[in-house]
Amino acid sequence: MSPELPNLPVEGKPGQFPATDGTDEGREREIAKRSPDGQSPGRFVKTIRIGRLAPADGDELHTANAVGVVQEAMQRGLHARGDVYLTRVEEHDEPLNASGVRRSQFTDLTYEVAVVPASIDTAPQDTITPKVIHRSGGDRDAADDAGDVGDSG
Q: pLDDT per residue over 51-91, tens digit each?
A: 765 565 677 888 999 999 999 999 999 999 999 999 999 88
User: In Å, what is the CA distance from 133 to each residue of 22, 41, 64, 136, 149?
Assistant: 30, 23, 9, 5, 9
Query: Is the overall model pTM greater than 0.75, yes or no?
Result: no
How many helices (H) and strands (E) the chain has is answered by 4, 3
